[in-house]
Amino acid sequence: MANPGSHRKFATIKDFILAQVESAAWPEHSRIPSENELASQFAVSRMTARRALQELTEQGVLYRTQGVGSFVASPKSQSSLLEIRNIADDISRRGHFHSAELVQLTSLPCPAVVASALGMLRNQPVFFSLIVHYDNQTPLQLEARYVNPAMIPEYLAQDFRYQTPHEYLSAVSPLTDAEHLIEAVLPDELCQKHLKIPPSEPCLRLTRRTFSRGGAVSFAYLTSAGSRYRLGGQLNVTPKKTD
């Protein structure tokens, strides 16, 4: 089990680096202190300092050059390949009506996979919401979302029947980056029950981890019946100039 003290020190290093970047004390492409320098400054192990730099690099706040060091990234490097869209807006664009059924909104012990994704400790309290999104009156998507309480302390006080978690999180902690995994799956019993589909119905599952400047905010499983949902997007490419 991780040491809570080292976790706090790790978070302190991240907060320090983010404060320097956001205040422009460390401008774009400036070199930041090394792992050894941070370890000495905060009286932690080199491994703890390395973890802070690694997570900030994964979030797009920093970039690393082998054998040289870590540098402040340009904001444009923090954009996601896949646009993060609000499901209520997607449904409205089709001229349909979005509604939501709040199945569960609670605090529970953080599972190991979620703890790793959110930089938390296993079994530490994590916020959890389970929501069914409807297109007109047809269940379209089951959203199972874990939220870091340290980042979003008022999450459990919201009424997600009238505002989606995406809308709320975007308002209180603007997203800077996201990671996506898209896969085809067969529905488990929970999805069968809430999406009202048979066990043989193929589903599209989007696993998403979102970040703000402060770190990882949420980790979500978004599962949709394959016959009712399509995932698309547009990629604009600027042609290269030729002589």
Angle at 155 (CA atoms; ends 154, 161), nearest 5 degrees: 125
The larger pLDDT score, comparing residue 164 to residue 89, is at 164
Per-residue confidence at 218, pLDDT binned at 50, 70, 90? Answer: very high
132-150 burial code (b ≥16 CB/10 A, e <16): bbbbeeebbbbbbbbbbbe
Flag whether 231 is in a domain.
no
Residues 140, 71: one domain? no
- 149 Cβ contact partners less than 8 Å away, ≥ 6 residues apart: 107, 125, 126, 127, 155
Which of 78, 107, 139 terminates a domain? The answer is 78
Question: In this structure, is residue 241 part of a structural domain?
Answer: no
Q: How confident is the model at residue 197 (pLDDT cuts 50, 70, 90)?
A: very high
Which position has the higher pLDDT, 78 or 35?
35
Last residue of a domain, one of 29, 60, 78: 78
Model pLDDT for residues 38-68, shown as the tens digit of each residue: 999 999 999 999 988 888 887 778 887 767 7
**What CATH code is carried by the domain that includes residue 156?**
3.40.1410.10
Domain that holds residue 40: 4-78
Helical (H) or strand (E) element with 59:
none
Q: Please count the structural domains in the chain.
A: 2
Closest CA to 179 of 63, 79, 76: 79
44 & 116 share domain:
no
Q: Does 97 share its domain with 187? A: yes
- Structure tokens that stand for 43 in this block: 């009286």
Residue 235 resides in a domain: no
User: Quick one: 101 and 62 in the same domain?
Assistant: no
Given a cut of 60, is residue 236 above it in pLDDT?
no
* Burial class (CB within 10 angstroms; exposed 0-12, middle 13-18, buried 19+) of 71: middle
Report yes or no on 64 lying in a domain: yes
